[in-house]
Structure 1
Amino acid sequence: MAISKKNKNRISVDGKEYLWWIFDEYDQTEFDGIQIKAVCADQTHFIKYGLQQKDEDRRLVIALKNYAKLIHLSSPPKFENDQGIITKSGINRMIKWCKQDGHLVQYARDRNNFNLNDEEKQALAKEILKMIS
């Protein structure tokens, strides 16, 4: 399904174009409140990040199309500024951070398998990171 470009921002990171937007939602997503969603233009994957997360529980979500595979990465840096505002440079940093190796996987799901062990979580993270790079 196509994504409307209306009210969306564009950014190109490492040769891939993303559409990103800010929205406020509760009880329907991984984060409650104000969040960012960046969708790759080819719609193979997306990244979600909640603004104003507590430092000790900050996380970021990467998912493949239709949530077929999903990982929650622990301890990303704060991408918004001290006033809680995220800018295009913050989005750029967020996307580049996702493509790095060595993330701690807090939660992972591979299709309908919700009970992955730590080794399987890390393998899935490597697979997803390879696909998005």
Structure 2
Amino acid sequence: MAISKKNKNRALVDGKEYLWWVFDEVDQTEFDGIQIKAVCSDQSHFFKYGLQQQETDRKLVIALNNYSKLVHLSSPPRFENDDGIITKSGIIRMIKWCKSGDHQIQYALDEMNNDLTTENHC
């Protein structure tokens, strides 16, 4: 299913286009409150990041193939500016940070809720 580009921002990272937007949601997602979602235009993966997270408990979520695999990365840097606003440059930094491999996997699950961080699934 195609994603509407209406009211979405665009960012180009390593030759791939990402559509991203800010929304506010509670009790429906990994984060409560204001968050961003950046979806690759081929819809193979997307990133979610909650704004204004506590530094000691900050995380970022990557979902692959429409939630068939879900990865929580711990301790990402802060991508929003000092005023708590995320910009296109913050989105680009976020995506590049995820692709850099300079992070720690908090946990990862597949669509059957199998823990992908155990030795049996690596």
Shorter-chain-normalised TM-score: which range? over 0.9
Unaligned residue ranges in structure 2 (runs of 5+): none
The answer to whether the 8 A contact 2:108-2:117 is kept is no
TM-score with structure 1 length normalisation?
0.86
Higher helix share: 1
Secondary structure (helix, strand or coil) at the match of 2:49 reads strand
Distance 1:43 1:116 in 2: 22
Per-residue Cα deviation, 1:84-105 (whole angstroms, up to 9, x for no partner): 0011110110010010114211
CA distance 1:120–1:74, shift in 2 (3 Å)? farther
What amino acid is the match of 2:107?
Answer: Y
Q: Give the count of matched residue pairs.
A: 122
RMSD (Å) for aligned C-alpha atoms: 1.4
What amino acid is the match of 1:33?
Answer: G
TM-score with structure 2 length normalisation?
0.93
Per-residue Cα deviation, 1:107-127 (whole angstroms, up to 9, x for no partner): 210221343444467x4xxxx
Residue equivalent to 2:33: 33
What amino acid is the match of 1:38?
Answer: A
Per-residue Cα deviation, 1:20-71 (whole angstroms, up to 9, x for no partner): 0000000000000000000000000000000000000000000112200010
Secondary structure (helix, strand or coil) at the match of 2:66 reads helix
